[in-house]
Amino acid sequence: MSRSGSRTKLGSSKKKGKGSKNNEPEEDEGPAEITVPQLEWMILSEEATKELAELEVEEVSNKLARVLSMSRPEEDLREAALLDYFVSGYWFAAREEGLSDVQVSAFITILHTLLDNLKSKQLSLEENILAFKEMVAAVGNPPSPVVPNPLKCFTMETGLFTLRYLKSSLFQHYSLFHYLLSEEQEEEIIIQNLIVNVPPDPTTLCPPPLEEAVTLDLYQRCISPPPPPPPEEQADEEDVTDNSEVPEVSEGVRQMKVSAEELKLVMEDIAKMKLTSYKEEMSQKLKRKEEVMLTRLSKLENKLT
């Protein structure tokens, strides 16, 4: 904090004339006290400070991001690093050291001011230390008209605590903060090809029918039942007489008329063929089982004898 904006009004000594009453000795007016703006409630308002006192760590981070006008700390690494610095500073001052609300607000203002000096004014470490020294020069001393005190809420212990915190954080890693606030970040674009399985078309049969063990294309062309005809076509089919020809199933194959008796004979022949082969297969299996059982019985008899 510079003192260029504050002015000191010095009292001027005035001599009384010879005809002055009682000939009282003249008195000099002392210098007026310099008034400077206080650092509390500049960044954190009183309402915001009281609200932060009731929040958890994640909620404190979100609240400070809004107070400090950080729009995207989840994406911008610079904003994320600064927000983490302010959150840790607030938590250490308010929750661990137990500073009052007004002292916490002034403490956050000091952090913000020093970081702004580094970012906007490009102050060196020595210059920023001098700026902090001007802020706390009158802390713990009685009011003085010469030395302004923007931290009237601080005590000597609070000033020492702030000095120790800045020494172990900002001043110790000043070059790192300078690099963070002055260098532009490189944007990295990461592209990754992904194979995504989408659901099949609901109009197709998926998976192919396993019972027939045929491909889906063959199933749809030859085995799959045709879709139901529209209502108009159904009405036309009802009007067709029994002597009308049945539409062809597949191209190039002529439909033949088969009576019920012929169909019955064909089915009987197929059943006899299937049953004959099945009987032969079962008889062979029974013979093998019988041989195995006889062998086992003979072995048991030999053991018993």
Tens of pLDDT, residues 92-147: 899 888 889 999 999 999 999 999 999 999 999 999 999 999 888 888 777 777 77
Look up residue 278 and give its amino acid: Y
Determine the Cα–Cα distance for residues 63 and 45; give it in Å rounded to an integer. Answer: 12
What distances in angstroms separate CA 256 from CA 126, 247, 266, 268, one per listed residue?
Answer: 107, 11, 15, 20
pLDDT above 50 (res 25): no
pLDDT the model gives residue 124 = 93
pLDDT above 90 (res 170): yes
**Contact between 253 and 246 (Cβ < 8 Å):** no
Determine the Cα–Cα distance for residues 167 and 158; give it in Å rounded to an integer. Answer: 14
The rounded mean pLDDT for the chain is: 77
Per domain, the residue ranges of the chain are 32-182, 261-297
Using alpha carbons, select from 266, 264, 244, 265 the residue that is nearest to residue 255: 244
pLDDT above 50 (res 6): no
